[in-house]
Structure 1
């Protein structure tokens, strides 16, 4: 099955990078190919499943989170490893700022289906209301980065979260605060 192969190859890719491999170990660590990387017949997620899925854009991507002690507990944080190619350059060897924002937006979105399955969030589509981003240092291309996210607060249909991108040395390169809102109407 293609999903299994994608998961295995991306997992193997990041497991072969020592600083990434440290995040992939532990009895409750869950790793998977992000849903956004899978093509859907209705065109959903085309940006990540097609446009940003190549050897020159996002070469590999892996979603990682820790399974809470109880299957009904909320998952408050998640990570994504991404290997960025030169096709994302805004400046030589530097990821375009719009792509940096796109990565931060997507990693926050990882928390939604995980917590919907656990009954902590309404089973509705969520949209970004705002994503305030600070660019602290250039995000390199032809490099692997770590994007992390954390829930700050859940309030009815509102998800307040933060996300940040780090390099392999743990230096924070970009940071964002966001509000996602569950949409009542069908898109």
Structure 2
């Protein structure tokens, strides 16, 4: 599937992301296998019942090869499947999208720093479940979300995310903008590096 700016022509402030050579674009989900047991909630639940229709992610290249990733962006179009109150997106759906928009920044940092862990798409081995070893993975430590205005549903929105790479921790913040560029929601989060198997 090709990146198609037409889907997001209602966000004129975001269209430069598609043509600016400083930004690289990808379609959400392209980095994972279709059969993996990872990211199922977003690949299946969020996209089901006319939920998320298009999900593009962008990363701004650092000024120099050894520079830091500081800016990423996410564009999402969605149907009435994410409705809470009539005509409004469910707050839980928005919190998930913010978590993912911030996580995209974390993933860009990890890839740029050569720390992104590949080859763990499946937590099963020959039909037997394994206890996942998550040492080295980054995970959400906390999220803070401020809902400023109702989020129309269905709709098209964009996330502008700032990234602060602290090594073992990554701080991120984002604003969610509508077609006019008005800020609907603000989000902040902290990602930390896990040390081993989850204690459940």
> Is TM (by shorter chain) over 0.5?
yes
Q: 1:14 aligns with which of 7, 11, 34?
A: 7
Q: 2:143 aligns with which of 131, 146, 149?
A: 131
Q: Which residue of 1 aligns with 2:174?
A: 163
1:20-64 CA-to-partner distances (Å, cap 9, x unmatched) read: 423322122211112478454341111111112247100101001
Shift of 1:183: 0.6
Q: Bigger radius of gyration, 1 or 2?
A: 2
1:89-168 matched pairs, under 5 angstroms: 89-119=83-113, 124-151=136-163, 153-168=164-179
Equivalent pair of 2:89/2:150 in contact (CA under 8 Å) = yes
Equivalent pair of 2:138/2:193 in contact (CA under 8 Å) = yes
- The higher-RCO structure (CA 8 Å, 6+ apart) is 2
Q: Which residue of 2 aligns with 1:65?
A: 59
TM value normalised by structure 2: 0.79
How many Å separate the matches in 1 of 2:33 and 2:41?
10
1:44-99 CA-to-partner distances (Å, cap 9, x unmatched) read: 11111111224710010100122223333221111111002101000111100011
TM value normalised by structure 1: 0.84
How many Å separate the matches in 1 of 2:108 and 2:141?
20
Determine helix, strand or coil for the equivalent of 1:91: coil
What RMSD over aligned residues (CA atoms) do the two structures have, in Å?
Answer: 2.3
Runs of 4+ aligned structure 1 residues displaced above 6 Å come to none
Q: Which residue of 1 aligns with 2:190?
A: 179
Equivalent pair of 1:36/1:49 in contact (CA under 8 Å) = no
How many Å separate the matches in 1 of 2:187 and 2:45?
23
Unaligned runs of 5+ in 2: 118-135
Q: Number of residues paired by the alignment?
A: 179
Instruction: Rate the CA distance shift 1:24–1:91 in 2: closer, same or farther, 3 A.
Output: same
How many Å separate the matches in 1 of 2:158 and 2:146?
16
Larger mean CA deviation between 17-26 and 154-163 belongs to: 17-26
Instruction: Rate the CA distance shift 1:11–1:38 in 2: closer, same or farther, 3 A.
Output: farther
How many Å separate the matches in 2 of 1:28 and 1:13?
20
Whether 2:90 is the aligned partner of 1:88: answer no
